[in-house]
């Protein structure tokens, strides 16, 4: 993560990637915590449904947050030209929490990438606005985004496709629907390119709440798998032929259930409180 405070000493907002299929009706503990962080009844939560092509996605999430007792609306960002509209940027500036829905992460990156909306989301998060996203909305949060790749346990040379993300953090790469879609191989393949970052694989109905100091806490019914390449002694990625498996020596793995923590800056893991 960048520094925890800005030049005007404003504390950063939380970054909250969710693994998809988040519970909305029966004990929606993940969305309720995001609601409380964003101000509870005083919150103004803005929903960005760009990744989804379903017309009901934006209204459904806005209605859900309103039912919790706060103001909420969605903004129809369906084309790049929408990202240059003054009314959409004005709506963003009023938000205490921003929620990015699931869908297609390449649709998100090709519409939002490099636009005033993307720049504004980064700036708002740096100045205290909490940003949450589920599924595709989670994947795009990091500087480098997993755009696609094959399922399976083994990392392979052509096992992952990368694209630029929003850049809310440069310390992690995020994958979602993790254990349900057997994505550990493609997350390891992503890390083999450059082991500077940690890999965060988030199960469905599970979230990683990353505070301004880079401390990640798990909440939900699944787990967060952390792949830490900080002590990686060898990666064969540079010499591996297409479709061949990659040799990775020294990769550290943590499986964190609800309540467990991981510091994305120091790469230290902690058990449940």
Place of tokens 């907002």: 13
Residue 170 host element (H or E): none
Distance (Å, rounded) from C-alpha 63 to C-alpha 51? Answer: 18
Our answer to whether residue 135 is catalytic in this structure is: yes
Distance (Å, rounded) from C-alpha 126 to C-alpha 59? Answer: 27
Our answer to whether residue 204 is catalytic in this structure is: yes
Do residues 45 and 39 touch, judged by C-beta distance below 8 A? no
Contacts of 44 (CB under 8 A, 6+ apart): 38, 70, 71, 72, 94, 95, 96, 97
**Per the residue annotation, which of 38, 52, 109, 177 is the catalytic one?**
177
**Per the residue annotation, which of 21, 157, 204, 217 is the catalytic one?**
204
Q: Where are the alpha helices (DSSP H) in 38-133?
A: 57-68, 86-93, 105-112, 116-126
Short-list 148, 241, 176, CA closest to 21: 176
**Per the residue annotation, which of 72, 135, 192, 198 is the catalytic one?**
135
Q: Which residues are designated catalytic?
A: 135, 177, 204
């Amino acid at each position: 993560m960048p520094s925890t405070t800005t030049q005007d000493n404003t504390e950063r907002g939380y970054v909250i990637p969710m693994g998809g299929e988040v519970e909305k009706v029966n004990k929606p503990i993940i969305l309720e915590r995001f609601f409380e962080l964003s101000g509870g009844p005083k919150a103004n939560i803005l929903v960005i449904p760009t990744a989804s092509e379903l017309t009901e996605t934006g209204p459904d999430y806005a209605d859900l947050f309103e039912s919790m007792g706060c103001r909420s609306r969605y903004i129809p960002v369906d084309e790049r030209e929408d990202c240059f509209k003054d009314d959409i940027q004005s709506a963003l500036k009023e938000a205490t929490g921003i929620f990015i829905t699931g869908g297609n992460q390449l649709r998100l990156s090709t519409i939002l990438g490099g636009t005033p909306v993307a720049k504004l989301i980064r700036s708002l998060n740096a100045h205290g606005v909490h940003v949450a996203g589920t599924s595709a909305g989670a994947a795009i949060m990091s500087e480098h985004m997993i755009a696609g790749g094959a399922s399976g346990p083994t990392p392979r040379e052509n096992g992952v496709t990368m694209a630029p993300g929003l850049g809310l953090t440069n310390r992690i790469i995020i994958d979602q629907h993790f254990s349900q879609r057997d994505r550990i191989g493609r997350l390891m393949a992503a890390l083999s390119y450059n082991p500077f970052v940690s890999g965060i694989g988030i199960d469905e109905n599970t979230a990683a709440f990353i505070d301004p100091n880079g401390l990640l806490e798990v909440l939900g019914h699944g787990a967060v798998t952390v792949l830490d390449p900080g002590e990686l002694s060898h990666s064969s990625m540079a010499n591996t032929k297409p479709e061949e498996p990659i040799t990775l020596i020294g990769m550290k793995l943590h499986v964190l259930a609800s309540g467990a923590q991981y510091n994305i800056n120091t790469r230290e893991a902690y058990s449940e409180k």
